[in-house]
Each structure stands twice: as C-alpha cells, then as structure tokens.
Structure 1
Amino acid sequence: MLKDQTSACKAARDAIAAGGEVMLYDGQPPQWMVLGIAATRLKRSLKIGLTTLGLDETVEILRARHCDEQLRTGNIVAADRSWFFTLYFDATGTELLACSGVKNERPLRRDGQKLQL
C-alpha cells in the first residue's frame, strides 16, 4: 500500500522492514477532523523546527480530495523510535491516501538551541 502517495512512503516502508510497529485504528473520523489535526501538526512542526516528511503533501491531499468522507488512520513507530509516521486511509481501510512522518527529535528554540524537555 505504501507506494508513492507522498515523500514519506519509502521511509515508512523502511521503518516497517526494520521492525517498526504498525497500528491501525478502527474509528472513522470525518475528513475535516483528520485534516485539521494534520494541518495543526504541520504548523506546529514548522514553528518549533521538527523534521517532517510528506506532511505538507498530506495536508494538500486531504484538503484537495476526500471532502465529506470518513477516513481511517494508523501509525508506524520506527523500531528505534526515531520516526513516527501517520497513515491516512479511505473509510474501508483498503486504499492508502497519504503518509506523513515526523522525526522524534528535540524541538529548536527561536535562537536555534535545542529545547530541554
């Protein structure tokens, strides 16, 4: 399923091949809710300097298509926990619409220093 929907797909496939944990969720939230979460994640990631893959593409895919649809989501957590990927499926869970990834790293402060968590 992880073809080339977004630039995060290859990294997500690699994470699975390396023993990453895959979780699929049963719920079917509406498209506007899933889009809102992805858009907020993108905005926040850009603001605090996190590395992302395909998140901007995912937001555009969800915004341009799949309006008024129920969607399903899932996650892939890399075995070394270095990346967290989100999968976006159609309501049946049979078609992958998009994939995004966020690197697990310390966010940057405005002065370029890493934040202490």
Structure 2
Amino acid sequence: MTRDGLVEMLGEQTTACRPAREALVAGGTLVAWDGLVPADRLAHIYRRRLRLTQRRGQPTLALAATVDILFHAAEEPLRLGRIDAADTSWTFMLFLNATATAVLACTGVARSEPSAEPATVAK
C-alpha cells in the first residue's frame, strides 16, 4: 500500500475518511501493520474506546459508525493502519481488508493537548 494508493482508497466509508485523506495529503505520517485481527475483536476494543472518549468528552469522528461496521464484518481478518496529522491535532485509525487493497472503515480521535501548566499533586 502506497500513500497515493491509500489516498485513492479513502472514500466515503465513514465521515472520518475525508479528513484522514486530507491529513495524509498535507504530510501526515502513515503506518500500516502487517498482522491481521478479526473484525469482531476490534469492534469490542473500539466500543470500549468509544465509551472512554465519550466519558472524557474527547472529540471523535465516525467512531460509533466504525464500531458498527466492525461488528457487521464479524470474523473478517483486518489489517490496521494509522494516519497522524502533521500538526498532531488528530489521529485516524484505518481498518483495511486483509490485502490492504480496500478501506473498510476509518475513525478519528482528536489528540489531547498537553497542559500548559505542570500538574499539581493533591495532598
């Protein structure tokens, strides 16, 4: 999978695909892992992440839709990829078919900014 190939594959699978494509074109970093993971296992993991981000109030793009897509894909083996925006504001997770020739789903999570002030220790 090449950067240009991924740009072409990122269509309208979820509402996070366009921002992910834009982040990639703007110089974001791309990593794709070799291993395969069953979609239903990823669905459980990302459902927990959905609850956690909701509890924290952390902005996401298409996370709920991605969880639904992963549950419907059942035991289909998927490959994972990630795009980090060049300005580090967003991270996008990509769920690709086993041969990395098609994007099944994409979700984005806003990266939290480090606090400008040092953390205080409660006594």
The code of the aligned residue for 1:98 comes to: A
1:105 Cα shift?
2.0
Q: Residue by residue, what CA displacement relative to the aligned partner does 1:34-78 show, whole Å, maximum 9, x if unpaired?
A: 1112111111100110000011110111112x2121111100000
Equivalent residue for 2:23, pick from 1, 10, 15 = 15
Q: Cα offset for 1:94?
A: 1.1
1:17 deviates by 1.3
Percent identical across equivalent pairs? Answer: 43
Please, what is the CA RMSD of the aligned residues? 1.1
Structure of larger gyration radius: 2
Q: Does 1:85 align with 2:92?
A: yes
Q: Which residue of 1 aligns with 2:83?
A: 76
Could you say which residue in structure 1 is the equivalent of 2:109? 102
2:46 matches 1:30: no
Secondary structure of 1:38's aligned partner: helix
- Please identify runs of 4+ aligned residues in structure 1 that moved more than 4 A: none
| Equivalent-residue separation in structure 2 for 1:68 and 1:18 (angstroms) | 34
How big is the shift at 1:32? 2.0
Question: Could you list the runs of 5+ residues in structure 1 that have no partner in the other structure?
Answer: 107-115
Normalising to structure 1: TM-score of the pair?
0.86
The residue that corresponds to 1:43 in the other structure is 51
